[in-house]
Amino acid sequence: MEQAISTAQRSGNSRADRKTKASGTTTRSGTVFGLDVHAEIPLSFLEGASAEPGGRRLEISASSGDGTKLEWPQDAELVCDERAPDGAQIFRIESHPQAGYLISGPQYGSFLLSADGGQLRCCREDCPENNFQQLLIAQVLPFASLLQGLEVFHAGAVVKDGQAVALLGRSGAGKTSIALECCRRGASFLADDVLALEPNGDALLAHPGTALAGVDHAEGEHIGTGAGLSSEQIFTVDSRKQLVRMTGAVEPAPLGALFFLDRRPDGPEHPRFEPATDARMLLSSTFNFVLSTPERLRRLLEVCALAAQLRVERMVVGSAADSSELAGAIVQRLSPSP
């Protein structure tokens, strides 16, 4: 685990806290999801971001007041309204051809993203800091990546033998815990939950995400017991999950394989691998269907066509299977045949 999880935040791991000569203000910077983020506000998720800049710049600034003071036009279109089972609003997305996108939620604050994905103004309002940054990581930055020409999959990823391995599946399938277990077996951490992909000729480049991995409390306790993690490495961010500080990747890696985690109550005791032949599995792997411009849809098809040429497999297993066994099976699956 020494290669995968840092025991302390090394100075120089991120390009945070750079002071501008003109104003004396502090700019925090780091490259995540293929974006060179430059923020005028404290963003703890940038700590540990060690990837080299790639040239896609995102400027983040703060705006005081509530979301209605972000100079948002009244004729904007509501394009997404995410709600909880009880009807309570989680977040919403409004769109305007010139103004861009307003992403907001009662517990998360408001984010005004420019139409080209290069400028972001944030209004935290009265929401907790953890909530504010969670929506920023989970929805806003991936949206900016899309606007700047990348594609985003709902997937975790590790790097093994120089190639990225994507882990896909529904929420709760165990993608993060399996990724951490893969890291215990020599893989390197690349991304958690959001994977930014970029076509590169006949290949796909997988970009590093944030240097954080979120796991359920029970899984975190299990991983901590096996890996000897300290309290400084695993800490609680809400009632369901813990956040694990990882050693971030320093550069994108070519995508080499994709595994869809298919846990079933009636599934086999030990994992069974089978080819994933349904094209809809790849097409539905993106979690953002809000941006549906012809250019974006062509790029999504291109990315899925390139991914289909790689090793794409479904791992079918019972719902009680241990993440350690599943990670071992994936690592073994990727090992060269004798």
Give per-residue pLDDT as tens, 2-29. Answer: 333 332 233 334 444 444 434 445 678 9
Using one digit for the tens of pLDDT, what is the confidence trace for 235-282? 445 556 677 788 878 999 999 999 999 999 999 999 999 999 888 899
Q: What is the pLDDT of residue 127?
A: 86
Contact 48, 68 (CB under 8 A): no
Q: How far is CA 195 from the centre of its chain?
A: 5
CATH topology of domain 151-334: Rossmann fold (3.40.50)
Kindly state the average pLDDT of the residues 43-67: 83
Q: Give start-end residues of each CATH 3.40.50 domain in the chain.
A: 151-334
Q: Which of 69-73, 238-242, 289-293 has the lowest mean pLDDT?
A: 238-242
Kindly state the average pLDDT of the residues 293-315: 95
Q: What is the pLDDT of residue 68?
A: 45
Kindly state the average pLDDT of the residues 208-236: 59
Give the list of residues 6+ apart from residue 259 with CB closer than 8 angstroms, or none.
Answer: 165, 166, 167, 168, 313, 314, 315, 330, 333
Q: Is 60 helix (H, G, I), strand (E, B) or coil?
A: strand
Average pLDDT of the chain to the nearest whole number = 84
Rounded to whole angstroms, what are the CA distances from 177 to 54, 72, 135, 259?
29, 40, 21, 14
Q: Which of 116-120, 138-142, 216-220 has the lowest mean pLDDT?
A: 216-220
Which among 60, 138, 67, 62 has a CA at the least distance from the CA of 105? 67
Q: What is the pLDDT of residue 247?
A: 81
Token digits for 217? 């409390």
Q: What percent of the chain has pLDDT over 90?
A: 61
Token digits for 128? 């907790």
pLDDT over 50 at 192, yes or no: yes
Q: What is the pLDDT of residue 165?
A: 98
SS3 content of the chain, % helix, strand, coil (to 5): 25, 35, 40
pLDDT over 80 at 180, yes or no: yes
By the 10 Å C-beta count (0-12 exposed, 13-18 middle, 19+ buried), 112 is classed as buried
What pTM was estimated for this model as a whole?
A: 0.86
- Strand order, beta sheet including 109-113: 15-19, 26-32, 35-39, 57-62, 119-123, 109-113, 100-105, 89-96, 77-83
